[in-house]
Every structure is written in C-alpha cells, then in structure tokens.
C-alpha cells in the first residue's frame, strides 16, 4: 500500500551530517550540526554528568516506574529556578507551571499545541532567519506562522528598526518567538538596552513572549548573564512561555531533556494551565523519560556538583570563543577580502559567515567542508588543527 510513496527530502540541517558521513576525505570538517566537540574533535560527556549517572546507578532504591505526565517534579522546579532565578517573583508566588518535555523541540511543540488550543490569538511571529524547525513545529501545532525582521545582511548584525517596526504592526496579543540568547543561526543578540525596548513594546501591545532557551550558559559562559533578558520579562509581572533545553549546556543531546514553563498571572491560573498541559501531553507520549531529568536534577540540587557544571560549561563556551578569534586571525593573516569582525562579535555556537550558497557548495566540493546552505558554521566543530583548512577554504571561496 505504500509502494507509491515519495522519497522525502533530507532535513536541511541533519542532512549535512548525512552528506559528511559519506565523504571519505581525511580533511573533511563537519560544521553543520550544533553539537559541541572537544579540541580533539570528539563528542563530550561532562565529568559532572558521568558522576551523577554513577550515583544514580549505585542507588539501589531507584526504580524504573513511570513518571507522572508532567515529569519529574523536582527537576521541573530546579529548571524554572535555573532560568528565572531563585529569587524570581513568579516562582515565589507559585505562578509558574512547568512540565518536563522532550528537550527544546518537545517543549516548543507542547507550548505551541497548548496555545493553539487555549490562547485567543493563533499567530506566532518568528525571526528571519531562525532555526529551521521553528516554522514546522508551530505550523503542525496549529498556529499560523508569520515573521519579523531580525538580521541585517548588510551589517551582519541586528536589524533593530525592522524588528521594532514589524512587532509594532503585529496584531494585538500575537505570540512572538524570541531566542533567549545566542540566536540560531545568526549569533546576533539584542543588547540589554534593545531587549528593554523590545519588552516595553511587546508589553504595550500585549504581545505574548515565547522564549526558546537552547543555549543558556553557552553564549557568555554565565548562566545568569544569558538568562538576563528572560528575567527582565518575568520581573515586569507579565505572562510568558519558556522552552528550555539541556542538550547543549549539559551535553545531554540524545537524552532529550527539556522543560516548558508557562509564567501565569496567578498561582490559581498556573494550576489550571498545568492541568491543561497534561491533556496536551497524555495523547502525545503519555509521560516523559526518567533518566535525563534525574541526572540534571542530581546536578542542579547539589551546590558542589552545580559548581563543577558551571566550570565545565564555561570551558566549552571559552573554547568556542577562542575558535572565533583563531578563525578571525587566520582570515586576517591571509588577507581575505571583506570585514570578518562579525566572527568575533557574534556569540554562541554558530557564526553566520555571510557566505552565499554557491560559496558553501564550492567549499563542500573543493575543501570537503560541510555547513548549512545559509552559510552558518558551528564553531564547536573547529579546533586548532582544522581552522587553517577552513580559513583557506573561505579565502578561496571569496576570491575565486
Ligand atoms: N531551539 C534552538 C534555537 C535550537 O538551536 C535548538 C537545537 N538546535 C533547539 C531549539 C532544539 O534542540 P533540542 O530539541 O535538541 O533541545
């Protein structure tokens, strides 16, 4: 019965790795997928994660019972505290409904489904460009996706006026997706002053913020600093949605550990919101997995392990920052035409190089370097050994 089925296209981001894996070249570099790599080019499991896993394995009282629909309660509390801050008024007033979800993507999807069912305005505005999965997740959740200007190719920075104009003309009450920090794919974030203007505008038009936080701690190396924009929106007492992921900042990628928090107007509303989130989740996957959030909770609740995590997290962030400098220096020393200062100005895991799709194809063909066709490179895939090869390739691509 499926004989006539069409072959689906590869996912534009994950397809880069599929092509990379097929390439036999010894000099190939995968700068496609946003997963951290060590200086040796290897995936990293944090020491603190290994330690937490060992503790859990050695604890004979641990069983494999189902979690509740909403996930591990302790983990949910700790996650809300991590992003909103321990002294957050919303947490102290019990106005936050948090449910454990399948990493960032699952949190966005559950949040999208909840909004499509219960919120009066079905339109969500997403930045241009944005992570490629955003429009698909929200469309399939039942929302109408529109866009707002975000990135200015001319400056390789924020199109702040375009952003303000587009949000000003959005219908009252629209949902707005905001990258909490380290915008993917551009690595361009608003300044704190700009965030404050965005906040004022959004609140004045009752636009509902839906934050996507996939990189807390990865942008600056500080968990609190990266959470500052979100906390400004919580401090004003207004509502918002928050999708959190531990994929990058704790290296928990395949464990699919995330959380959706909805900051509500009162504790009473939060209880009712949580009851409705259960109705969204139950027919999707019944209840979330146990292992990942147990590891995360073990780390977050123990001050010594928490500190160890922050040190390991900062080391990852610092390595990425140093790769930015090395790539910038390598291009400068080659005299590569153009202003490459955006490489050191942009933050987080990605650099939006400004290379066009022909240049990207050239670099794949001639230099075995793999990246998404929009010219986004994952800085985590770079190390001291492969930076010169990348710089040679970029130089050749822009001067060919
Ligand atoms: N949002 C953004 C902006 C991302 O970059 C990612 C990961 N690439 C995600 C969400 C989702 O990641 P995950 O589902 O692995 O947590």
Which two tokens mark 98?
A: 């948090």
- The 10 Å CB-count burial string (b at 16+, else e) for 22-55 is eeeeeebbbbbbbbbbeeeeeebebebbebbeeb
Can you name the CATH fold of 14-44+318-399? Answer: 3.90.1150
Question: Is 184 near ligand 1, meaning CB less than 6 Å away?
Answer: yes
Tell me the C-alpha distance between 291 and 250, whole Å. Answer: 14
Tokens 């929106």 correspond to what residue?
233
Alpha-carbon torsion, ordered 39, 45, 47, 53, to 10 deg: -170
Question: Is 212 near ligand 1, meaning CB less than 6 Å away?
Answer: yes
List Cβ neighbours of 235 (8 Å cut-off, separation of 6 or more): 89
For the segment 317-346, the average pLDDT, to the nearest whole number, is 95
How many CA atoms lie within 13 Å of 56's alpha carbon, on the beta-carbon side? 18
CB 243 within 8 A of CB 104: yes
Q: Considering only CA atoms, which of 124, 172, 132 is closest in space to residue 148?
A: 124
Q: Considering only CA atoms, which of 316, 323, 385 is closest in space to residue 351?
A: 323
Residue nearest ligand 1's atom 5 by CA? 184
**Catalytic (active site) residue 59:** no
Return the pLDDT at 6.
97
Angle at 213 between CA 153 and CA 199, to 5 degrees: 70
DSSP per residue, 135-166: HHHHHHHTPEEEEEE-EETTTTEE-HHHHHHH
Residue nearest ligand 1's atom 16 by CA? 104
What would the pLDDT profile of 292-306 be if each residue is shown by its tens digit? 999 999 999 999 999
Which two tokens mark 395?
A: 């130089």
What would the pLDDT profile of 228-284 be if each residue is shown by its tens digit? 999 999 999 999 999 999 999 999 999 999 999 999 999 999 999 999 999 999 999
Question: Is 131 near ligand 1, meaning CB less than 6 Å away?
Answer: yes
The answer as to CATH 3.40.640.10 being correct for domain 73-301 is: yes
- 130 CA closest ligand 1 atom index: 3
Residue nearest ligand 1's atom 8 by CA? 34
- How far does the centroid of ligand 1 lie from the alpha carbon of residue 311, in Å? 22
**Catalytic (active site) residue 301:** no
What would the pLDDT profile of 7-39 be if each residue is shown by its tens digit? 998 888 888 888 999 999 999 999 987 899 999
Beta bridge partners of 202: none
What would the pLDDT profile of 142-178 be if each residue is shown by its tens digit? 999 999 999 999 999 999 999 999 999 999 999 999 9
ipTM of the complex, rounded to two decimals: 0.98
**Catalytic (active site) residue 248:** yes
Tell me the C-alpha distance between 376 and 132, whole Å. Answer: 12
- Which ranges of the chain would DSSP assign to H, the alpha helix? 14-22, 47-57, 73-84, 89-92, 103-118, 133-141, 160-168, 192-204, 223-235, 267-285, 291-300, 303-334, 342-345, 357-367, 387-399
For the segment 94-122, the average pLDDT, to the nearest whole number, is 98
Average per-residue pLDDT for the chain: 96
Q: Read off the pLDDT band of 400 (50, 70, 90).
A: confident
Question: Is 107 near ligand 1, meaning CB less than 6 Å away?
Answer: no
Q: Do domains 14-44+318-399 and 73-301 have the same CATH topology?
A: no
The domain ranges of the chain are 14-44+318-399, 73-301
């Amino acid at each position: 019965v499926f004989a006539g089925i069409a072959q689906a296209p590869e996912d534009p981001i994950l397809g880069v790795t599929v092509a990379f894996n097929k390439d036999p070249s010894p000099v190939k570099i995968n700068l496609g997928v946003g997963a951290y790599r060590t200086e040796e080019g290897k995936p990293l499991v944090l020491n603190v994660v290994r330690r937490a896993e060992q503790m859990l394995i050695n604890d004979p009282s641990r069983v494999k019972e189902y979690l509740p629909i909403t996930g591990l309660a302790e983990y949910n509390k700790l996650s809300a505290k991590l992003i909103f801050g321990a002294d957050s008024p919303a947490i102290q007033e019990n106005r936050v409904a948090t449910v454990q979800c399948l990493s960032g993507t699952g949190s966005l999807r559950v949040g999208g489904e909840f909004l499509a069912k219960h919120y009066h305005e079905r339109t969500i505005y997403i930045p241009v460009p944005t992570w490629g999965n955003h429009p698909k997740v929200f469309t399939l959740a039942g929302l109408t996706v529109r866009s707002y200007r975000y990135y200015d190719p001319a400056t390789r920075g924020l199109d702040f006026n375009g952003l303000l104009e587009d949000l000003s003309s959005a219908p009252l009450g629209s949902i707005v997706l905001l990258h909490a920090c380290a915008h993917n794919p551009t690595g361009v974030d608003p300044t704190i002053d700009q965030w404050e203007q965005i906040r004022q505008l959004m609140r004045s038009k009752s636009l509902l913020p839906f934050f996507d936080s996939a990189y807390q701690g990865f942008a600056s190396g500080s968990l609190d600093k990266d959470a500052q924009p979100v906390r400004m929106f919580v401090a004003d007492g207004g509502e918002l949605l928050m999708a959190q992921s531990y994929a990058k900042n704790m290296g928990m990628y395949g464990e699919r550990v995330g959380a959706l928090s909805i900051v509500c107007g009162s504790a009473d509303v939060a209880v009712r919101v949580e009851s409705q989130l259960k109705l969204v989740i139950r027919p999707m996957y019944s209840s979330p997995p146990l292992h990942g959030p147990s590891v995360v909770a073990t780390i977050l609740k123990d001050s010594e392990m928490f500190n160890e995590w922050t040190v390991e997290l900062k080391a990852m962030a610092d390595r990425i920052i140093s790769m930015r400098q090395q790539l910038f220096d390598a291009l400068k020393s080659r005299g590569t035409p153009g202003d490459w200062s955006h490489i050191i100005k942009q933050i987080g895991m990605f650099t939006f190089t400004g290379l066009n799709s022909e240049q990207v194809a050239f670099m794949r063909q001639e230099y075995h370097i793999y990246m998404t066709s929009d010219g986004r490179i994952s800085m985590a895939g770079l190390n001291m050994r492969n930076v010169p090869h990348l710089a040679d390739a970029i130089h050749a691509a822009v001067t060919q």
